[in-house]
Chain A
Amino acid sequence: MPEEQSVKIAVRGLTKVFGDEPERALELLRQGETKQTILERTGQAVGVADASFDVYEGEILVVMGLSGSGKSSLIRCLNRLNEPTCGEILIDGQDIVGLDHRALLEVRRRKFGMVFQHFALFPHRTIRENVEYGLEIQGMAPEARAEKALVALRQVGLEGWENATPGQLSGGMQQRVGLARALAVDPDVLLMDEAFSALDPLIRRDMQQELVALQNRMQKTIVFITHDLDEALFLGNRIILMKDARIEQVGSAEDILSNPATAYVERFVAEVDKTKVLTAGAVMRRARTVAFTTDGPRTVLRKMEDEDLNVLCVVEGDFRLRGIVRDETALAAVQRGARSIQDIIEPGIEPVSPETPVRDLFGPLAAGPLPAPVIDEAGRLKGIVVRASLLQGLAEAGLANGNGSVEPETPEAPASEPSATEEHAA
């Protein structure tokens, strides 16, 4: 909860005007004129207008907006790559807007690590030398910084590439180097400017997941810029939505989706597929009845009859998932007098995590009568998702009926045939 967290960066009334007469633009801004009007009348480009917000310790704050909305100008004000025209930026309570050059360099070195859209790796330096850059300019001894660079490269999974040059790496790997370079200086705050936008979609999804994992591990404060709402919803603890240099709304993903503050936000999020936000954890059912590996086939059949199911998940005594067992194989086992279900367990079933978006479940669930087991990090069964529970979850989110455009990737619209696996729902 934001209330309980400490504020890392407090931004108050931050305004950035590009041009030689910012005073005129400021005057018009105070009168409430828009960015376009000011540009037409004065030739001054307003990058950021009167932005106030907090960044909490250890959160991922996503700043989102279309190109030209001022999000890149905003993030560059935080470390004064853009000189703010007016306003305050308090980092750990210290206003960095008034700092002289020397002190500013010190803030950039100690507090920030930055990752860029097009990686911005130094082509004349090896991967290790790239990662060392921040430490090198701080004057750290070569052995010490080589060691830290190695640690950072290990964190992003690029051990062994130290002596390659950036040109030898794929885009995804280059951005891992970019991330390692930022992590190597052990900054308080990571500034990520459209960091994954230049990557192709699959790599991008991987990197998003890794960033979340990394953040869980290291508890960095991250300010992440993106124009992609899906990315914002996936990464952001909180989201700032910008339009025409102004902040339209600050809030959690749910706030933005369910209570859009302005008509613009409403239109913006109307495009979003809510099934991407809904997770398996939210729609799963408790697995009240399971088969244990020590059960005999008769016991399993009894459990199935009691619950009116034809498939059960099989777990160890500590609820670690082993696979599934079907009624017909259990029946056959009883008929040939088997005493254990050990050799009729089908291990091939693909479990999902509670964080899996439900849209990733449509395919498997549509393909057959099998449930999707949901497991935690330790591999323990937390629940199952069957088609009926998925539909109910969607209905509660207000999506199942109405527009037919729930998700183009679904082969069959979920509303059309709910009956096939009804028996699981009992």
Chain B
Amino acid sequence: MIEIPRLPLADWIDAGLDVLTDQFATATKIVSNLMETGIEGAVETLMWLPPWASILLISLLAWRLAGARTAVLALLGLGLLWNLGLWEPTLQTLVLVLIATLIAVLIGAPLGILAALSPTAYRIVFPVLDFMQTMPAFVYLIPAIPFFGLGPVAAVFSTVIFAMPPAIRLTTLGIRQVPADLVEAADAFGSTRWQKLAKVQLPLAVPTIMAGINQTIMLALSMVVIAAMIGAQGLGGEVWRAIQRNEAGMGFEAGLAVVILAMVLDRITQGIGRRNPSRAG
């Protein structure tokens, strides 16, 4: 009998992460502190406005970007959250989602463009995306803690990893979907690679890229709630507390708040996507 020894895969990963943590401890601590200050600052700034003013502002924004129905939805839905005393956790969640989305798009869009233009980049990036999307979301929480410590920054870190794939995928898809004859026309007139990208490919990819950003926001929202387990505050924190205290009613209230926030964010970003000139133009 030949005994095949168990591969110490977990040990290797731990060792790797330890090395990374040691190497980058200072850097991650600085990033962590800066971001934590930023997040708290953002929440405080938003809290400084009275809730009714914030709700009116968001409704106005929804009306401008996505129409009257979304505005009414925002007004009533957010009003309900205020009434339930969930305004502050809602804002905390919103800030985490927006920051995570911003970082995901800032990293994801250029990667998506690169993967669309370079076959080599495509062959490297897309398998990694498959890995990122199929790995259970909770797993990302574990290494986030040694890097950034418990708290909102670790939550943002794991959220970015979890929510970034659609931003990359749909950016690549949007650019690849630009009809070949339009790209050829751009070439025939002597466009540089950059001109072709900026004047033809990206503008025509915008609706698809916006759909990707919409997906990223939705994923970020779900992850930010899960990230309550590593100390992110907000609506996820409310849900987590309800679980620990076995208070189903309170848990549903917080859950409903997540749903309302998701609907408002979804309608607004879809509205932005529609406003952009599309192929049908």
Contact = CB atoms under 8 A, between A and B. Distances in A.
Interface of A: 79, 81, 105-109, 112-114, 116-118, 120, 122-124, 133-134, 136-138, 165-167, 181, 185, 191
A113 B191 CA distance: 13
Given A134-B189, A136-B199, A118 B181 contact: yes
B187 A81 contact: yes
Contacts of A108: 187-190
Contacts of A166: 281
B200 A122 contact: yes
Interface in B190-221: 190-192, 195, 199-200, 203-204
Interface in B259-281: 277-281
A17 B24 CA distance: 52
A262 to B, nearest CB: 32
B207 to A, nearest CB: 10
B279 A79 contact: no
Contact of A137 (B182, B192, B203): B192
A344 to B, nearest CB: 59
Contacts of A120: 179, 181-182, 184-185
B190 A105 contact: yes
Given A108-B187, A134-B189, A137-B192, 14 more contacts: A81-B187, A107-B190, A108-B188, A109-B190, A113-B189, A114-B189, A120-B181, A120-B182, A120-B184, A133-B199, A137-B190, A138-B190, A166-B281, A167-B281
A105 to B, nearest CB: 4
Contacts of A167: 280-281
Given A123-B281, A167-B280, A137 B181 contact: no
A123 B189 contact: no
A114 B185 contact: yes
A149 to B, nearest CB: 13
B184 A122 contact: no
B42 to A, nearest CB: 34
Given A137-B199, A167-B280, A122 B182 contact: yes
Nearest to B189: A134
27 contacts: A105-B191, A105-B192, A107-B190, A108-B187, A108-B189, A114-B189, A116-B185, A117-B181, A118-B181, A120-B182, A120-B185, A122-B182, A123-B204, A123-B280, A124-B203, A124-B204, A124-B278, A133-B199, A137-B189, A137-B191, A137-B192, A137-B199, A138-B190, A167-B280, A167-B281, A185-B189, A191-B188
A116 B278 CA distance: 21
A112 B199 contact: no
Given A79-B188, A108-B188, A124-B281, A137 B200 contact: no
Nearest to A134: B189
Contact of B188 (A112, A124, A138): A112
Contact of A123 (B184, B191, B195, B279): B279
